[in-house]
Amino acid sequence: MTEHVKDDDADVIVVGAGPSGATTAYYLAQAGLTVLLLEKARFPREKVCGDGLTPRAVKTLIAMGVDVGPGSGWLRNKGLRVIGAGMRLELPWPELDSYPGYGLVRTRASLDETLARRAQAAGVKLLEGVTVTGPVLDDAGQIAGVTARAEASAGTGSGHSERDRSSTQTFRARVVVAADGNSSRLSVAMGLRRRDDRPLGVAVRTYYTSPRHDDDYLESWLDLWDGDRLLPGYGWIFGMGDGTSNVGLGLLNTSDAFGNTDYRELLKRWLRSMPEEWGYVEENRTEPVRGAALPMGFNRTPHYYRGLLLAGDAAGMVNPFNGEGIAYAMESGEILARTIAQALARPDREQAERVLRGYPQALAETYGGYYALGRLFVQLIGRPQLMRFATRHGMARPALMRFALKLLANLTDPRGGDAADRVINGMTRLAPNPR
């Protein structure tokens, strides 16, 4: 970490204003720090996603003061409908003290802008249309700021003056956060690559106008076949409540099929098996089919390196059990902001450094055991016979599937709770916990 100098542009620079960056910035501003949030796109902007939010994500939205009440434009869901092995199960979200009993759906264009505006309202200076091009290093090789290129018409989106139209600019701060998503160019520029020994998913999705647009369950299909091979992953159908469904599928890198599957073709084939009246046919498609990677189970570490702190997809925070990333992006953003606020309140640089070094430890304590189980899970379901066995036997046992829902969606009460909660919490505590 660098010494505080008077010409810093902010206490903290956050790169990327997706869910992790906006949340980090929001909590930093709430703690009284000055924050510069740099975003290459302009809101509203698209992000390839399933747009599904579990109760875990809903909790993070409520904590940030986002209005999720009736009439505020969100489609609520009651649980997860699972389809597989010729069966169909509706599993309501568990009743817990720690999480609300419902999920939500909303387009990322709208969700991400809502979060970014919450950060702005808390006092964050958001610059849209500003692409970070690299780190600025101090003499010790620690990150001390970033270089950035502003789009020709880049304004602040919040009534601030127009930025220099062409030049590359330098921004300095005491701390820099990489919340720039799965590719995290900033982390890579600092020497932090993805770990090959950690899970990765790839998913594609598109939208169709459909009578199923207001489905009050998230729907997940476990039977994705490539010839006679059952693939490790699932297909989803999430009603958007706006006349369309978000339809997509994702696979894990633990199977042979991962690198040699035509995902778009697989999606087409899967959709051909759907009833025609659902409307998932070419004429009803409203968007191109787009895909992206899901970095899972801490697949980029260390989370604090040469002064740079990582959050969300940049830190490989997606849940390996179910591909959910928004809740973890926001949660890691909050943990990170609280760590930085404590660090910058310390009287000298050494002490601040000590606090920042605690961030990877805090993430490991919160998610390490669970992600270790998740890594084991993706290894197991990468074997087609095991995947087939699990689907067939699980689907025939609703009680087991209710347990699986709690495990896969990471929804338990940490204290008290029922027997399932205690088993899952116990497994998580006992799992080996490498960072």
Ligand X SMILES: Cc1cc2nc3c(=O)[nH]c(=O)nc-3n(C[C@H](O)[C@H](O)[C@H](O)COP(=O)(O)OP(=O)(O)OC[C@H]3O[C@@H](n4cnc5c(N)ncnc54)[C@H](O)[C@@H]3O)c2cc1C
Q: How far is the CB of 324 from ligand X (least distance, A)?
A: 4
Select the residue whose beta carbon is closest to ligand X and give its number.
325
Using DSSP bridges, classify how beta strands 168-178 and 143-150 pair: parallel, antiparallel or unpaired: antiparallel
Residue from 1, 10, 13, 17 that binds ligand X (CB under 6 A)?
A: 17
Residue 248 as a binder of ligand X (CB under 6 A): the answer is: yes
318 is a site residue for ligand X (CB under 6 A): yes
User: Do the beta carbons of residue 16 and residue 314 sit within 8 Å?
Assistant: yes
Q: Which residues lie below 8 Å from residue 273, measured CB to CB, with a gap of 6+? A: none
Residue of 29, 237, 329, 372 that binds ligand X (CB under 6 A): 329
Whichever of 52 and 384 has its CB closer to ligand X, that residue is 52
- The backbone torsions φ and ψ at residue 312, rounded to the nearest 5 degrees and listed phi first, read 65, -145
> Binding to ligand X by residue 180, rule CB under 6 A?
yes
Cis bond upstream, residue 384 (ω within 30): no
H or E element that contains 430 = helix 419-430
Please give the single-letter amino acid code of residue 385.
Q
Residue 179 interacts with ligand X (CB under 6 A): yes or no:
yes
Q: x/- binding map, residues 98-127, to ligand X, per CB under 6 A?
A: ------------------------------
Distance CA 340, CA 28 (A): 8
DSSP assignment of 355-379: HHTHHHHHHIIIIIHHHHHHHHHHH
Using CB under 6 A, pick the residue from 118, 205, 300, 375 that binds ligand X: 205
- Burial of residue 353 (CB within 10 Å: 0-12, 13-18, 19+) is middle
Q: Is 64 in the site for ligand X (CB under 6 A)?
A: no
Question: Closest CB to ligand X among 249 and 373?
Answer: 249
**d(C-alpha 305, C-alpha 60), whole Å:** 26
Is 205 or 406 the residue whose CB approaches ligand X more closely? Answer: 205
Query: Which range binds ligand X by CB under 6 A, 156-164, 316-324, 356-364, 396-404?
Result: 316-324
Contacts of ligand X in 129-158 (CB under 6 A): 131-132
- Residue number with CB closer to ligand X (337 or 352): 337
Laid out side by side, the sheet with 103-105 consists of: 52-53, 103-105, 75-77
Site string for ligand X, 263-292 (x = CB under 6 A): -----------------------------x
Nearer to ligand X, 328 or 377 (CB): 328
The yes or no reply on residue 257 touching ligand X (CB under 6 A) is no
First to last CA, the chain: 22
Residues 94, 103 contacting (CB under 8 angstroms):
no
Distance CA 269, CA 226 (A): 10
- For 357-433, strand residue ranges (E) read none
Please, which residue, 61 or 352, has the CB nearer to ligand X?
61
Residue 148: strand pairing partners: 132, 169
49 or 404: whose CB is closer to ligand X? 49
Stretch that binds ligand X, among 79-87, 156-164, 309-317, 388-396 (CB under 6 A): 309-317
Q: Which residues of 303-324 are buried (b: 16+ CB within 10 A; e: fewer)?
A: bbbbbbbbbbbbbbbbbbbbbb
If one asks whether residue 29 binds ligand X (CB under 6 A), the answer comes out as no
Q: Which among 289, 242, 14 is positioned nearest to 110, based on CA atoms?
A: 242
Q: Which of 294, 308, 352, 356 binds ligand X (CB under 6 A)?
A: 294
* Side-chain-facing half-sphere of 25: CA atoms under 13 Å: 32
Site for ligand X contains 75 (CB under 6 A): no
Q: Which helix (H) or strand (E) holds 101?
A: none
Among 11, 51, 215, 226, binds ligand X (CB under 6 A): 51
User: Hey, what amino acid is at 305?
Assistant: Y
Residue span binding ligand X (CB under 6 A) among the ranges 27-35, 44-52, 220-228, 391-399: 44-52
409 touching ligand X, by CB under 6 A: no
Q: Which is nearer to ligand X, 40 or 163 (CB)?
A: 40
- Candidates 50, 55, 239, 417: give the one binding ligand X (CB under 6 A): 50
Find the shortest distance in angstroms from Cβ 228 to ligand X. Answer: 26
Contact set with ligand X (CB under 6 A): 15-21, 38-41, 47-52, 57, 131-132, 179-181, 185, 203, 205, 248, 292, 294, 312-314, 318, 323-327, 329
